[in-house]
Amino acid sequence: MSLYNPSFPPCTVEQFLKFSLEHPRKRQILSIGQFRPEKNHKLQLTTLRKLIDSNPNKYDDVVLVMLCLNVKAIAGSCRAEDDEMRLEELKKLSKELKLEKNVKFCKNLPWKDLCKELEESMIGFHTMRDEHFGIVIVELIAAGLITIAHKSAGPKYDIIQEDSKEPKGFLADNEEDFVIHLKYALDNFEGLKKLRENARAHAKTFSDEVFVERFLKIFESFITRYYKEKKKTA
């Protein structure tokens, strides 16, 4: 565990770990999260535009899927009028950038449809700066996506760990670097199987099962210490 974030929330990844790494994937980039300003979805759209413009013949078929889950699901949804307005602004921006055929907006998606997108997409995309931890990122790497996240906070120190001996994804803090990593992931997807395996193995360390095991060990240690102290004062 890193000193930056010594306590991780449990992540329900068991279903995603079952997705085959051999399963054919679409040239699709997946972004999951509520339509809140700090998620920086606009950066995702402008990055996609730059990616396509860098080589239209090579990247014009790439699709960015921006989705949020149904309000009853674990992750976010369009919560209120402000979120709806931001979604409409993103749709407007995608038209201004001439990305209508390259972007798919999915509002309040049912769980089973989210799982389908996770199983079929190549790349996970997360652009929020200073995400405290990033449960969505854990879900993305568990599902076998090559994940590109903002180079800060939880994604940098706890999940992706780009500078480790076994990197689990890529980090960027500006549009140009995001484009570079997207290109590399798209062009070398089949050759990055080891990275995907590393990422999936790391995702298991955040699972509900591991969380329970760690919690019980801490609780057991506390109880043992309590009774030792009680005997001393008896």
Residue 117 lies in a domain: yes
What CATH number is given to the structural domain containing 129? 3.40.50.2000
Residue 209 lies in a domain: no
The answer to whether the beta carbons of residues 198 and 164 sit under 8 Å apart is no
For residue 234, the model assigns a pLDDT of 66
Q: What is the Cα–Cα distance from 171 to 168, expressed in whole angstroms? A: 10
For residue 3, the model assigns a pLDDT of 36
Q: What is the Cα–Cα distance from 226 to 232, expressed in whole angstroms? A: 10
* Confidence check: pLDDT of 15 > 50: yes
Q: What is the Cα–Cα distance from 99 to 180, expressed in whole angstroms? A: 19
Element (H, E) at 156: none
Confidence band for 7, pLDDT divided at 50, 70 and 90 = low
Confidence band for 71, pLDDT divided at 50, 70 and 90 = very low
Mean pLDDT of 158-174: 89
The answer to whether the beta carbons of residues 125 and 40 sit under 8 Å apart is no
For residue 185, the model assigns a pLDDT of 98
Residue 220 lies in a domain: no
Above pLDDT 70, what percent of the chain?
Answer: 91
Residue 164 lies in a domain: yes
Mean pLDDT of 174-185: 98
For residue 2, the model assigns a pLDDT of 41
User: pLDDT digit string (tens) for 73-126?
Assistant: 333 445 567 788 999 999 999 999 999 999 999 988 888 999 999 999 999 999
- Name the domain count of the chain: 1
Mean pLDDT of 46-62: 98
Residue 230 lies in a domain: no
Q: What is the mean pLDDT of the chain?
A: 88
Residue 139 lies in a domain: yes
* Confidence check: pLDDT of 166 > 60: yes
Q: What is the residue range of 198's domain?
A: 14-204
Q: What is the Cα–Cα distance from 185 to 103, expressed in whole angstroms? A: 18
Confidence band for 210, pLDDT divided at 50, 70 and 90 = confident
Residue 68 lies in a domain: yes
Residue 52 lies in a domain: yes
